[in-house]
Structure 1
Amino acid sequence: MKEIQARNMLVVSCMQRAGFTGFGGDGLQAARAPDNATALPAGAWGYLGAEAAAVQGFHPPKRALPRPVAPAAGPAEAYDAARVDCDRQAAERIGSPPGPGAELVGRLFDESIGATGRDARVAAATGEWSICMAAAGFRVDDPAALPERYRAVAEITPGELATARADADCTARSNLAGIWFAVLAGYQRQQIDRNAQALTAQQEAVRAQDAKLTRLVAGGS
């Protein structure tokens, strides 16, 4: 969220310096706190959130689209060129933590997800979940297959809501989410121990980037 705030501030300032004094941030991503887990209610662990299951199924909650804002006064070509240039300048100013560290974190995360999916404890919990789902009238082996199946359809149907409620119930009964996250955390702790030096360096780079964003949001250099 802080990166979005900094980027928006830099783009607005740049556009106003370019002569578009009425520019107030149209088309920029809103800087708001991330949604909670019910915003994306399903994953490799099964359904997470019985309340959301009852009303949104496997779809993320609907949000009102922002009202379009007219471009600032001035020739369209000049406006578009200024936006492109200001976006570029903001990206260069913000930068990012060193690539190799970020790549390592991404690779380790992918490896931990894969190891978790192959773990016997997760397989056993997934089996219990599948048996529970079958008893409720829904034959499915893979929790992640449900959102893929239903999100391809624009409208939420009664059948989707029924499946989602069963998924939420069976996830709780089998403790699939609890087991999945506990196993994932175990593998990630092992990875942290094995890659402590490189991860510490990346942590320092992220902290430095965060301090830089803080300065930018505060209007500093």
Structure 2
Amino acid sequence: MNPAHHADRLIRKLETLAALSDEEKEALGSLPMSVKVFGADQDIVREGDCPVECCLVLEGMVFRYLMLDDGRRQIMGFYIPGDIPDLQSLHIKIMDHSVGTLVTTIVGLIPHQSLNNLNARYPRIANALWRDTIVDAAMFRLWMVGLGRKSAHERIAHLFCELLMRFKAVGIAKDALTCEFPMTQTELGDALGLSTVHVNRVVQDLRADGLINLRGSSLHINDWERLQQRAKFNPTYLHLEGRGAAE
């Protein structure tokens, strides 16, 4: 990615949440950022760390997770280009979870002090970042409902719907019904509380019903309306009231 465009990911994401002036975009573009490449299955930040910078996903995909003492893992969210998965570290001293990569991922590391200074000078940017954490919390609530009350078919279909909408909102979906999907069935199981065998069975069912196609690391939704119905998916919780709503 061209260094001049590193901040474009963040600007595009924040524009799904709020309107930004040219001056605010310029301020975001001037944020100091060191770019780092992580291989697949590497931690960007670990539980117990005391980070002094936030990571902006530029390319690739990451996930938030916790490990139990016996090695079992719970994935609590997937994050795409434009997301800052550890934005909470601006206000908490010690990380209480880890963030790792699904695939080779490029991130921009932004010093906390620079973000705090930006927020103090531009309240609308601060509000947009605060709104981003609210949407993140809304996704957690839906995740909890899925784990507690939805069937395996509904959980997986819901994740498919959510990811497509998020990719489209920031303008990086492959087309209107296709997006990146680099997760393995093991990672889906760790996220949705299912065994790998159960995940495989559900994915095959959704394929057989003509709802989706999974090829390599790409997800194509064949029938959006039916998949939404299967998932009981209502996108209101994503609060795409800016650019993403129109798209």
TM-score by length of 1: 0.28
Q: TM-score, normalised by structure 2?
A: 0.26
More strand by share: 2
Higher relative contact order (CA 8 A, sep 6+): 1
Report which of the two structures shows the higher radius of gyration computed on alpha carbons. 1
- Relative to total residues, which structure has the larger helix share, 1 or 2? 1
